[in-house]
A and B are shown apart, each in its own frame.
Chain A
Amino acid sequence: METHEHIPEFVVAYLQGEATEGQNQKAVEWLKTPGNLKIYRQLEKINSLSADLKLMKKFDIQKGKQKVLRKYRSTKWIVVSQWMQRIAALLFIPVLLTGIWYYLKQDELRKDLASLIVTQEIVTQPGTKTHIFLPDSTEVWLNASTTLRFPSAFTGAERRISLDGEAYFKVFRNKKKPFVVNTSYFEVEALGTAFNLSAYSGDLKISTTLEEGKVKIADQTVADKIIYLAPGSQLNYYPEDQTYKAQDVRVQDVIAWKDGILIFNETPFYEVVAKLGRWFNADIKITDQSIANYRFTGTFTSESLDQVMELLTLSTPIGYSNTKRKILGNKSYSKQEIKIWKN
């Protein structure tokens, strides 16, 4: 049995591209012999197969597989997260619809509410103070003997309330809905501000004091009477002669009452008496009008009415009498009565 046919070297050299000029010619001649071309093609095949085998060994199966699996796992997560996004989007639809429904419903409720709005009234007794929040979150401190009326909801284009007495407002900022306080004489319009308004209907002086922001005061009797107030200033209205007078004040002193401090600074005596009467729930009368325009300066924090009266007599030439409180038929006490005269 023939082991194998010998392949001439020049054919192999020709095949490998290493042939010399002479070998080339020999190879071309050799290829012309019948059958040799077939052998040559087979050799070519062996060549390319062995080259493939060589190339093959360069590709690392394990490294390749690791890369593939890593990529597969990461894309799998991308696919999963894409699905999650879709599911989340689908779940969001009912949430959105519910949200819209509630919004519309709320609008309806708001309309219903409008028909149910009632006016609320807060009254502080003489000698007491109170602190409340209005429906729009505006903060209000009410001084003694004060009445504040406001709706249970602010539905219109403005927030309108009315005041008889003294109050300090920290108005909740809402530029679209002006905050308006009605008094017996004029109205005060504020946007987001803090201001004090002392408007007791029987008082000789109505004071608007601005702490910060801006307020507009519009007189109801004079249509074109509009006054703007700057922070730190006080506008006083005197109902008797219907005049306005502005002055700069220490705002802290004016609003100190909300912290339980009474501050008088060159304050006319009639005003002092009115304030003390409300503060201590007493009926204080000046018997001699010549002392009504005395000025008084002083600060009271925790003094009793008796102590305050003593202090007043020290600094002003006055005397006073004090009637004891009596038990009335309905088991309440009568107001303390104090009479002041010139000494």
Chain B
Amino acid sequence: MQANLNAIRKEKQLFNDFQQGSLEMFDYFFDKYYQGLCVYACRMLKSNSEAEDLVQDFFVRLLENRKSIRIDSSLKSYFIRSIHNRCLDYIAHQKVINTHETYRLRMMTEEDFQEYPLLDTELKQQIDQAIQNLPDQIRETFILNRFEGLSYQEIAAKENISVKAVEYRISKALGILRKDLGDYLLLLLLFSKF
């Protein structure tokens, strides 16, 4: 937790530099948060391109107003809060009638934003690393299923194995990942609403 606090403090220092006019710092923040924020917006808006436009717009405004912005929370939660609110605005404008979902999104608290997992680069790396560490065949099957979106049947045909074998490999992969990511998963499950 101490390390986490230090990281937050360091990031705030960097943001300060960015506010003073350093455009390299903009690169730093953009590279670090862009994709994660896009995913977040995408989960709310259910559209890749709209999510991307919205996040880009946010960064344009961030550049324009960087001198006058004051951030009290961590940068991560500031970013997510901003994107979240923009998405709500967007949804309200689109008059998307999905009252329950909208209500749930509106009720999200500061803590919810705090713990949105994928903006934590450390966790992202951890997951990537854990997947890399899977035994080759299992990893391949897992990737085909989770990242390429192939069904068990399709994987079986492609890899020339039985559906049973696919099932086995996926189970194995999840087992290993659960073990490797154990601590993180516990933490995430405490907060995450996604």
Contact = CB atoms under 8 A, between A and B. Distances in A.
Nearest to A4: B179
Given A41-B189, A53-B147, A11 B64 contact: no
A177 to B, nearest CB: 59
Contact of B146 (A3, A5, A11, A50): A50
Interface stretch (B5-13, B35-43, B85-93, B104-112): B35-43
B185 interface: yes
Interface of A: 3-9, 11-13, 15-16, 18, 39, 41-43, 45-59, 61, 64-65, 67-69, 71-72, 75-76, 79
Interface of B is mostly: helix
A46 B181 contact: yes
A263 to B, nearest CB: 82
B103 to A, nearest CB: 21
A55 B178 contact: no
A28 to B, nearest CB: 17
A45 B188 contact: yes
Contacts of A7: 171-172, 174-175, 178
Contacts of B118: 49, 52-53, 56
CB-based closest 9 A-B pairs: A4-B179, A9-B167, A59-B38, A50-B146, A12-B171, A42-B185, A56-B35, A68-B59, A4-B175
19 contacts: A4-B176, A5-B179, A8-B171, A12-B171, A13-B167, A15-B174, A16-B170, A18-B152, A42-B185, A46-B185, A48-B194, A49-B118, A49-B127, A52-B118, A53-B118, A55-B39, A64-B56, A65-B27, A71-B57
A125 to B, nearest CB: 81
Given A41-B189, A47-B146, A50-B146, A61 B35 contact: yes
A6 B175 contact: yes
A53 B151 contact: no
Contact of A18 (B151, B189, B192): B151
A273 B172 CA distance: 135
Given A55-B42, A56-B39, A61-B35, 4 more contacts: A4-B176, A7-B172, A16-B145, A61-B31
B175 A61 contact: no
Contacts of B171: 6-9, 11-12
B173 to A, nearest CB: 9
B56 A68 contact: yes
Nearest to B146: A50
Contacts of A65: 27, 30-31, 34
A49 B128 CA distance: 10
Interface string B39-67: 10011000010001001110110011000
